[in-house]
Amino acid sequence: MKLLNIFKTFKNEESGAVTVDWVVLTAAIVGLGLVVIQVVAPAVDTTSDSIATNLGAAPGAAAAAIAGGGSGG
């Protein structure tokens, strides 16, 4: 009889179900984050390459503007 009571108590316990709900919710959030990263990553790469190119060209452009007279007011 005691074993039957243990099984009934186990069946009625809901704390495990709450844990499973949180695990599923957390997995969904992590999965959504990975999808967002994969969608945004190419645009971030393109933008960072553009910034690097513009920063690399900036000193030469500034030097050419100074040597050529520029708009020195």
- At residue 56's C-alpha, the angle toward residues 50 and 60, to 5°, is 130
Give the tens place of pLDDT for each residue, 41-64.
999 999 999 888 888 776 666 566
**d(Cα 28, Cα 7) in Å, to the nearest integer?**
32
pTM of the model: 0.51
Residue written as token pair 């992590």: 30
- Residue 71: partners with Cβ closer than 8 Å, 6 or more residues away: 65
Q: Say what the pLDDT of residue 57 is.
A: 75
Give the tens place of pLDDT for each residue, 16-44.
777 888 999 999 999 999 999 999 999 99
Is residue 70 predicted with pLDDT exceeding 60?
no
